[in-house]
């Protein structure tokens, strides 16, 4: 078993020189032990399944409509090219370069900033608690979609109120069937929502079974690591596209579809003067690209060392944004149909988030011929989109934990047991969101735990650590060593200047414009509810400064020595205090000697005065120490 802790090797035992070389071990034995994608397609589909999720379907189209239609693409593209693509590529290439999960990769880059890894994993752990609740709701709706008469299309159900029954007589049947039943099914049958978070109430056991099924599916998707995940994504990452295309074709052929598409794309350039439009664009990029979660690093860490991660990253980024754009046509063509049928402005039917998936779209489906068929298509797509993102988040957390303690978790069946523990704990925590007051708890998690504020905060430190502490040029050297050429300098300058500046500005604006959460823009949480929300948000952000303070306070030596040592790389060869009889000539910053053994970032020739012109190359293996060739 290879030891993944920092390597310290005596380069010259005779003089006691004890300096670690600047290497990141990358051996075939280690990769087999850890796991590796069978082919590039498994990696591409896994990342696509993670980043192309519910936000592409229920958030991006609504933000376009809300923030000026086609004009919204201007701030969206600016954030995409200054933050989205650079950070996405940074995380994928970092994982591939170090072959480490979301925590130990930062330990290798700079011990002082290992807290970045802990921050990302705290966010992922909180996501695991609540994101899968959406899958439970989707499975619940899917189970009802197999009935010929959809239960949310009529007022004659036990959960409908008396007022709704009266309204069906006094008002038009179309208004009742299109509006009231679907809302009452959502609030009174699915959520059975109470009046506030203070009234948690009892569990909904039918939803508990749906949540249990969701976790069982998630567990068996990843229980064998990349061996199982790589095969599952062939279905879970591609089938939603089939559903999306079917819904798109159906949507654009409905009467009134052009009205919805017009509202989706019609540019209102005046909206660009509103700072909130730019804030929405920035947060959407971070949400939809799954950056600052450690997921991309974990998936990239299973790549082969020479995989062209630069080309893959660009292709996946454009695929993600393209999917969001196309999904807007599918969604707003349906909303245009609803607006046409009810003869109301589209603003009255356009919703975002769960409101779109579980109110607006089911309402639209109930108006179509053969409505159960379209309901099944839609909710199958919702379940698969959510399942992909969910099991990759779990994989990220498990990979980070296993890489921290490899000698323990890489024993027989221990990794599977770890996944089981994560699933069981997350299932138990998620039960509180399936109570009568659970929706209020869910909204707290969604608004605070993985907010854009948290992701922006982490992104600032990620780019600063790579570009300024490790060195942007050095990381470009590492990338060149992997893919065989240097990417264009634009991304490097983004890491150095544009990305941290943009993230910091957006982060500051989010603090200045902060507004407390209100459920349905009406219910005000008690003070302790907001305190819980901020506790969720700060639980990830404090990891970075707390780790820095912890490292500095426990280290020995003067403050200058401590900071210098903490900022230095775990595997950097120090050029100071070398013995007098050794001269070092660095011929190339990055030079691959043998991929079979390792990648050495400095090719060094040691010329000893006592042995004239005698050159030695030292290769460092993870366990073998120095090997003289």
Q: DSSP per residue over 503-538, as a string?
A: HHHHHHHHHHT----EETTTEEPPHHHHHHHHHHHH
| Rounded CA Rg of the chain | 27
Residue that has been written with the tokens 């209020």 in this structure: 440
CB 540 within 8 A of CB 455: no
Tokens of 296: 């991309």
CA dist 440 and 276 (Å) reads 25
Q: Is 320 annotated as a binding residue?
A: yes
Q: How far apart are CA 569 and CA 588, in angstroms?
A: 19
49 among annotated binding-site residues: yes
* Nearest alpha-carbon partner for 160 in 136, 188, 139: 188
> Can you tell me the distance from the alpha carbon of 347 to that of 260, in angstroms, rounded to the nearest whole number?
10
Q: What is the structure's pLDDT at 567?
A: 66
Domains of the chain by residue range: 1-22+572-629, 23-550
Pairwise CA distance, residues 623 & 378, whole Å: 53
Tens-place pLDDT, residues 166-213? 333 334 334 444 447 888 899 899 999 999 999 999 999 999 999 999
CA distance 136 to 191: 11
Q: Tokens standing for 281? A: 């664009």
Q: Are 517 and 444 in contact (CB under 8 A)?
A: yes
Question: According to the model, what pLDDT value does residue 183 have?
Answer: 86
What pLDDT was estimated at residue 568? 61
pLDDT value of residue 157: 74
Q: Give whole-number Cα distances, 452 to 60, 63, 289, 518, in Å.
A: 14, 15, 12, 17
23-550 CATH fold = Amino acid/polyamine transporter I (1.20.1740)
Q: Which of 335, 342, 350, 344 is nearest to 175 (CA)?
A: 342
Distance CA 478, CA 96 (A): 10
Regions in the chain scoring below 70 on pLDDT: 1-32, 161-179, 352, 565-629
Task: Please tell me whether 56 is known to bind a ligand.
Answer: yes
pLDDT on residue 566: 65
Q: Is 385 annotated as a binding residue?
A: yes
| 288 annotated ligand binder | yes
pLDDT, residue 227, reads: 86
What is the b/e burial string over 8-25, where b = at least 16 CB atoms within 10 angstroms of the residue's CB? ebebbeeeeeebbbbbbb
């Amino acid at each position: 078993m290879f030891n993944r802790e920092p390597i310290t090797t005596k380069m010259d035992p005779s003089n006691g020189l004890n300096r670690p070389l600047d290497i990141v071990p990358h051996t075939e034995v280690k990769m087999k032990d850890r796991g590796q994608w069978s082919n590039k397609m498994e990696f591409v589909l896994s990342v696509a399944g993670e980043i192309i999720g519910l936000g592409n379907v229920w958030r991006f189209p609504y933000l376009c409509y809300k923030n000026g239609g086609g004009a919204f693409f201007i701030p969206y593209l600016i954030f995409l090219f200054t933050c989205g693509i650079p950070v996405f590529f940074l995380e994928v290439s970092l994982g591939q370069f170090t072959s480490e999960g979301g925590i130990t990769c930062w330990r290798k880059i700079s011990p002082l900033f290992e807290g970045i890894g802990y921050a990302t994993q705290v966010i992922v752990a909180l996501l695991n608690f609540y994101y899968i609740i959406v899958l439970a709701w989707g499975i619940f709706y899917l189970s009802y979609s197999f009935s010929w008469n959809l239960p949310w299309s009529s007022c004659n159900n036990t959960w409908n109120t008396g007022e709704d029954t009266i309204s069906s007589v006094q008002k038009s049947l179309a208004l009742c069937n299109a509006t009231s039943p679907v809302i009452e099914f959502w609030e009174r049958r699915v959520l059975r929502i109470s009046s506030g978070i203070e009234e948690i109430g009892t569990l909904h056991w039918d939803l508990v079974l749906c949540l249990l099924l969701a976790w069982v599916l998630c567990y068996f998707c990843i229980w064998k690591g990349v061996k199982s995940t790589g095969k599952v994504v062939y279905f879970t990452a591609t089938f939603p596209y089939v559903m999306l295309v079917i819904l798109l074709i159906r949507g654009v052929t409905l009467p009134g579809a052009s009205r919805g598409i017009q509202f989706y794309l019609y540019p209102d350039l005046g909206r660009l003067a509103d700072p909130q439009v730019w804030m929405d664009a920035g947060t959407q990029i971070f949400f939809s690209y799954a950056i600052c979660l450690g997921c991309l690093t974990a998936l990239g860490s299973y790549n082969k060392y020479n995989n062209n991660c630069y080309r893959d990253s660009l292709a996946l980024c454009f695929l993600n944004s393209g999917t969001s754009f196309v999904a807007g046509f599918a969604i707003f063509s349906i909303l245009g149909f609803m607006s046409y049928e009810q003869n109301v402005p589209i603003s009255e039917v356009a919703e975002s988030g769960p409101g779109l998936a579980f109110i607006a779209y089911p309402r639209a489906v109930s108006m179509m011929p053969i409505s159960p068929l379209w309901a099944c298509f839609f909710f199958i797509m919702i379940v698969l989109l959510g399942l992909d993102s969910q099991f990759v988040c779990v994989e990220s957390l498990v990979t980070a934990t296993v890489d921290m303690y490899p000698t323990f978790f890489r024993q027989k069946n221990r990794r599977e047991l770890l996944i089981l523990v994560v699933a069981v704990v997350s299932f138990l925590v998620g039960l509180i969101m399936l109570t009568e007051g659970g929706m209020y708890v869910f909204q707290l998690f969604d608004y605070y735990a993985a907010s854009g504020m948290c992701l922006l905060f982490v992104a600032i430190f990620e780019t600063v650590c790579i570009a300024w502490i490790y060195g942007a040029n050095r990381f470009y050297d590492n990338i060149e060593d992997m893919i065989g050429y240097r990417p264009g300098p634009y991304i490097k300058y983004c890491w150095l200047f544009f990305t941290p500046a943009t993230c910091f500005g957006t982060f500051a604006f989010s603090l200045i414009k902060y507004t407390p959460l209100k459920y349905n823009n009406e219910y005000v949480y008690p003070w302790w509810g907001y305190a819980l929300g901020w506790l969720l948000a700060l639980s990830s952000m404090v990891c970075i400064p707390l780790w820095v303070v912890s490292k500095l306070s426990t280290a020995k030596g003067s403050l200058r020595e401590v900071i210098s040592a903490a900022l230095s790389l775990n595997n950097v060869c120090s050029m100071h205090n070398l013995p007098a009889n050794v001269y070092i000539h660095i011929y190339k910053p990055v030079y691959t000697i043998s991929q079979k053994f390792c990648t050495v970032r400095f090719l060094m020739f040691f010329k000893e005065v006592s042995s004239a012109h005698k050159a030695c190359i030292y290769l460092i293996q993870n366990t073998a120490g120095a090997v003289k060739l």
